[in-house]
């Protein structure tokens, strides 16, 4: 049974455990969140068979970096088999504090997988001087960075445009960089797609990208399927949107599996000690019976026979 047929039948992702590359713990002041407790987060993961959820703290990149990062550790303690954590770093904090924060978090849990930067909220360009030493920390300690990446719209786009993120990925080729939200807008997504094609260490995640009004089928005409990551942004957003966008899309199941799990599994296995230990039995692609199409056109659209727009 295909992934789509299984979903339509109410069977969920029964044969595929998803990995969420970009989610959060905490709350957000500007709008109401209905009970974003850890219990509810885990229930949401269960609902969509999300085995692993990579979270960053909303509080940490808001106004309290250590307290917020502690919430990530709390999530890991709460459900140690479900959560992995990013350390959120704020460029306006003293570098010594940031360095100490990274070391503290890595010492506290082997499930800390990388760093998270939010240039929009912290109102500082991702390629600016204050971020530079934070990128160095990534290269030194945990070479996986998730960056809030958005082009246009209401956000101060100068700080976190795809090209600026890609500039840093080029400067730090040993660091794997995830462009959070795939640049958000349609133009942002197309830029991310092109940049992912060119830079081996660049990836793009799907959470919030529905706001660009670009359907997955069309996005994958531009983006390499090996570079697109499933992500939910819970508890900002629910997991249903990205899961439904990919799960119901008129694309091959092999591509869905890459997006929903395999691509992030490969990143974890490559960039993190925890991932190397967890996934060392074989490479992700071979374990899932897939072949790489990295930096290649994602889709042979002619094979997707049930898309009415073809």
Partner 1 sequence: MKTATPKQWFDACAMIGGWHRTPPQFSTTAQLLGHMERFRIARALVFHSIAWMYDFRQGNAVLDDEIAAHPQLVPCYAVVPSATGETPELEHWDGLLRGGRRFAFRLFPRSHEFMPCSPGANRFHEFAAHRRIPVLVDIDEISWDDLWTLCRTHSLLRVIIGNSGTNALYGLFRQLRRLYEFLELFPQVRIETSLLCGFRNLEAICERFGAGRLIFGSRMPFWEPGSSIMRLQYTDLDPREKQLIAHDNLAALLDEVGP
DSSP string, 137-157: HHHHH--EEEEEEE-STTS-T
Residues 149-208 that bind partner 1 (CB under 8 A): 153-154, 184, 186
Q: Using N-to-C axis directions, what is the helix angle for 95-108 and 132-141, rounded to 10°?
A: 20
The answer to whether residue 238 forms part of the interface with partner 1 (CB under 8 A) is: yes
Residue 259 host element (H or E): none
Which of 3, 16, 19, 36 touches partner 1 (CB under 8 A)? 36
Cα–Cα dist 198/120, whole Å: 24
In the complex with partner 1, the residue whose CB is nearer, 47 or 278, is 47
The answer to whether residue 213 forms part of the interface with partner 1 (CB under 8 A) is: yes
The nearest distance, CB 13 to partner 1, in angstroms, is 10
Name residues whose C-beta falls within 8 Å of residue 172's C-beta, 6 or more positions apart in sequence. Answer: 135, 138, 139, 143, 201
| Tokens at 244, concatenated | 């439904």
N residues, the chain: 310
Stretch that binds partner 1, among 6-14, 103-111, 259-267, 277-285 (CB under 8 A): 6-14
> Which of 304, 309, 265 is closest to 285 using CA atoms?
265
Whether the Cβ atoms of residue 187 and residue 217 lie closer than 8 Å to each other = no
Which of 109, 241, 283, 293 touches partner 1 (CB under 8 A)? 241
Stretch that binds partner 1, among 3-11, 56-64, 102-110, 252-260 (CB under 8 A): 3-11
In the complex with partner 1, the residue whose CB is nearer, 47 or 104, is 47
The nearest distance, CB 253 to partner 1, in angstroms, is 14
The answer to whether residue 35 forms part of the interface with partner 1 (CB under 8 A) is: yes
Which of 1, 2, 43, 221 touches partner 1 (CB under 8 A)? 43
17 three-state secondary structure? coil
Cα–Cα dist 132/127, whole Å: 7
The answer to whether residue 94 forms part of the interface with partner 1 (CB under 8 A) is: no
* Positions in the binding site for partner 1 (CB under 8 A): 7-12, 30-36, 40, 43-44, 47-48, 153-154, 184, 186, 210-211, 213, 215-218, 234-238, 240-250, 306-309
């Amino acid at each position: 049974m295909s992934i789509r047929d299984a979903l339509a039948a109410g069977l969920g992702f029964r044969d595929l455990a998803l990995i969420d590359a970009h989610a959060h713990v905490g709350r957000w002041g500007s709008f109401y969140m209905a009970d974003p407790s850890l219990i509810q987060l885990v229930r949401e993961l269960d609902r969509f068979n999300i085995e692993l959820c990579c979270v960053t703290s909303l509080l940490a990149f808001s106004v309290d970096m250590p307290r917020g990062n502690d919430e990530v550790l709390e999530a890991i303690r709460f459900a140690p088999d479900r959560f992995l954590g990013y350390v959120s770093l704020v460029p306006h904090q003293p570098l010594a504090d940031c360095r100490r924060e990274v070391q503290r978090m890595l010492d506290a849990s082997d499930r800390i997988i990388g760093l998270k930067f939010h240039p929009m909220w912290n109102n500082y360009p991702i390629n600016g001087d204050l971020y530079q030493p934070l990128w160095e920390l990534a290269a030194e300690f945990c070479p996986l960075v998730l960056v809030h990446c958005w082009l246009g719209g209401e956000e101060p786009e100068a700080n976190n445009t795809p090209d600026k993120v890609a500039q840093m990925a080029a400067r730090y080729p040993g660091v794997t960089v995830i462009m959070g939200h795939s640049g958000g807008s349609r133009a942002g997504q197309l830029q991310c797609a092109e940049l992912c094609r060119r830079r081996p260490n660049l990836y793009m995640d799907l959470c919030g990208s529905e706001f660009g009004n670009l359907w997955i089928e069309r996005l994958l005409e531009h983006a390499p399927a090996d570079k697109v990551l499933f992500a939910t942004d819970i508890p900002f957003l629910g997991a249903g949107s990205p899961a439904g966008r990919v799960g119901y899309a008129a694309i091959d199941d092999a591509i869905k599996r890459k997006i929903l799990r395999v691509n992030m599994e490969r990143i974890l296995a490559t960039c993190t000690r925890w991932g190397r230990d967890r996934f060392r039995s074989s490479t992700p692609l071979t374990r899932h019976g897939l072949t790489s199409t990295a930096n290649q056109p994602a889709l042979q659209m002619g094979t997707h026979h049930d898309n009415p727009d073809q």
